[in-house]
Chains A and B, each alone.
Chain A
Amino acid sequence: MKEHLLGLDGWSGEEILEVLDHARTFRKVLDRDVKKLPTLKGITVANLFFENSTRTRMSFELAEKRLSADIINFSASTSSLKKGESLRDTVDNIWSMKVDMVVIRHVAVGSSHFIARRCKAVVINAGDGSHEHPTQALLDLYTIRERFESFEGLKVCLVGDALHSRVIRSNVLGLKALGAKITLCAPLTLLPFGVEQWGIDVTCDIEEAIAGANVVNVMRLQLERQTAGYIPSLREYSTYWGIHKGLIDLMDKDHIIMHPGPMNRGVEITQEVADSADSVILPQVTNGVAVRMAVLYLLSPRIGETQ
């Protein structure tokens, strides 16, 4: 097992499956009346959310509490960041309080790598800018596996803002490691530089991308992308790239619909599709807690390892 979870870059299929196997155990615990385990008693986790988040933060907090870890929370809006403290000083201070694990979300690419170098705590990346969001990808993979068991030859279509999306980046790395067949679909302006080197199929044509797919994972369209000039209008985006029933009909008959949330209903996905029987958007959220429990469990430091 790796020392930190900074991204899925460099993770082998085997390592990913180890996390997913453990997540299965924790998923079962979530169905019990008593959902708490004593496993991480005595471990302190700092949740450092320099960027706003509801779902990821709650999911991590819940996962930590379910494992009996002690938690300290930090959010940018109420912290001394407002007084001008640097990331480095904030982290040094939190480290001095003797924590064992750090979960961090920060707008700067590589922020979690920086912290992993700076202190001896185990670091879990909860999203660093437009770089990676590994636990989201792991929970997506878990949800896919729950339905299809194997990734070999599975057709997965990722739709949305690949230029800014850390979810897409982590998903591509994970899916590639597990042998899925990936097609990425986005407007030309929202495709990142060098995407042709990712070794996946890339197209701007959603019909072509989604045809025969088993999984469609729809990314949120950040509404501010319009004002930044990446797309002419939301209306145009939803006409050409919004996922509606007609497109779902083109998929393999064995299919699921995913979205990492929060959704802009009527923009990247229609109401009808989001609430359809094949939508696994809410199971994704439940699985997220189990997957994060697995990550915390597998990476948790042993006595004497951190301080």
Chain B
Amino acid sequence: MIELLDSTQLARSIKRIATEVVERNSGAKNLAIVGIRTRGVPLAERLATEIEALEGIRPPQGSIDITLYRDDFRELTDSPNVGGTSILFDVSDKDIILVDDVLYTGRTVRAAMEEIIDYGRPSTIQLAVIIDRGCREFPICADYVGKKVSLKENEYIEVRVMEIDGEEHVVKVDRNS
């Protein structure tokens, strides 16, 4: 297990992403932040806090559970529990910042975009991730990236956040160890 980002570095990444988001969208007025369950949700919360610190406006926040939109639903052995999506604001004409911990195949993001579009027609959807680990299976790329890494076949990434894991850092784990 190798630590890629400690808690301070993770916080700095989020802060930098917040700055980039605000820069690119000329402020925070039209923003809304949607975290992908599970770990995207606390990360979206942090991002909203950082944006608020910069601009004095807290963008509306939502969470999304992509289970019902998965393209491999019928291959799963069980019907997974659905945590439920909560988007309580009108997405129409908003600039949506979609937040997830790791970007890998791009399939989760595809499902999340489809779900958001079912709520209305946002002006833009932008993607923010903490780790981009490559190996995309869909033509999707992130607009804001905490750190890019390339992994060997037997390695994977774990982003751990205080609210869920009781610790805060990003690690690279070797499946064989």
What is the distance, in angstroms, from B90's C-beta to the closest C-beta of chain A?
10
Chain B residues near A298 (CB, 8 Å)? 79
- Residues of B contacting A29 with CB < 8 Å? 68
Please state if A34 and B77 are interface contacts (CB–CB under 8 Å).
Answer: no
* Cβ-defined contact, B84 with A28, below 8 A: yes
Question: Which residues from chain B contact A302 at a C-beta distance below 8 Å?
Answer: 74-77
Residue of B nearest to A303 (CB): B74
Check A42 against B114 for contact (C-beta < 8 Å): no
Specify which chain B residues have a CB less than 8 angstroms from the CB of A21 in the assembled complex: 81
Contact of B79 among A32, A36, A297, A303 (CB under 8 A): A297
With beta carbons under 8 angstroms apart, the residue of A1, A39, A42, A299 that contacts B68 is A39
Task: Say whether B153 faces chain A, with CB atoms less than 8 Å apart.
Answer: no
- C-beta contact mask, B107-121 vs A, less than 8 Å → 1, else 0? 000000010001110
Contacts of A42 in B (CB 8 A): 74
B69 nearest CB neighbor, chain A only: A38
B78 CB within 8 Å of chain A: yes
CA of A210 to CA of B72 in the docked complex: distance in angstroms? 50
- Cβ–Cβ contact A37 & B74, under 8 A: no
Residue A22 CB within 8 A of the other chain: yes
Given the interface contacts A38-B114, A39-B68, A302-B74, does A22 sit within 8 Å of B119 by beta carbon?
no
B142 to chain A, nearest CB (A): 24
CB–CB B69/A22 < 8 A = no
B125 to chain A, nearest CB (A): 16
CA–CA, A36 and B79, complex, Å: 18
Cα A29 to Cα B82 in complex, Å, equals: 12
Pick from B69, B75, B78: contact of A37, CB under 8 Å: B69
> Distance (Å) between the CB of A298 and the closest chain B CB?
5
Instruction: List residues of chain A with CB within 8 A of the CB of B85.
Output: 25, 28
CB within 8 Å of B: which of A116-139?
none
In the bound complex, do residue B118 and residue A36 qualify as a contact, i.e. CB atoms below 8 Å apart?
yes
Q: Which listed residue, B74, B76, B81, touches A43 by the CB 8 Å rule? A: B74
CB of A39 within 8 A of CB of B118, answer no
What is the CA–CA distance of A185 and B77 in the complex, to the nearest angstrom? 44
**How far in angstroms is the closest Cβ of chain B from A138?**
16
Residue of B nearest to A33 (CB): B120
Question: Contacts of B75 on A, CB cut-off 8 Å?
Answer: 302-303
Cβ of A24 under 8 Å from chain B: yes
Q: Are B79 and A300 in contact (CB under 8 A)?
A: yes
- Bound CA span A43–B77, Å: 15
A22 vs B78: C-alpha distance when bound (angstroms): 14
| Contact between chains at A34 and B119 (CB < 8 Å) | yes
| B114 contact set on A, CB distance < 8 A | 38
With A and B bound together, what is the CA distance between A3 and B73 in angstroms? 17
A14 to chain B, nearest CB (A): 13
A-B pairs, 8 with minimum CB distance? A34-B118, A39-B68, A25-B84, A303-B74, A25-B82, A37-B68, A298-B79, A303-B75
Cα distance, A37 to B82, chains bound together (Å): 13
Which listed residue, B74, B76, B78, touches A1 by the CB 8 Å rule?
B78
Set of chain B residues within 8 Å of A43, measured between Cβ atoms? 74
Near B by CB (< 8 A), chain A positions 9-41 give 21-22, 24-25, 28-29, 32-34, 36-39
Instruction: Tell me how far the C-beta of B67 lies from the nearest C-beta in chain A, rounded to whole angstroms.
Output: 8
Q: Is A33's CB under 8 angstroms from B76's CB?
A: no
The closest CB in chain B to the CB of A301 belongs to B74
- For A296, the closest partner residue in chain B by CB is B79
Residue on A with the closest CB to B74? A303
8 A Cβ contacts from A55-110 to B? none
Most buried by B among A21, A32, A43: A32
Interface membership of chain B positions 58-74, coded 1 if the CB is closer than 8 angstroms to chain A and 0 otherwise: 00000001001100011
A300-B65 Cα distance, complex, nearest whole Å: 19
Smallest Cβ-Cβ distance to B117: which chain A residue: A34
A299 to B78, CA, bound (A): 9
Q: Considering only CB atoms, which chain B residue lies closest to A67 in the complex?
A: B68
Name the A residues within 8 Å of B78 (CB-CB): 1
Residue of B nearest to A39 (CB): B68
How close is B157's CB to chain A, nearest CB, in angstroms? 28
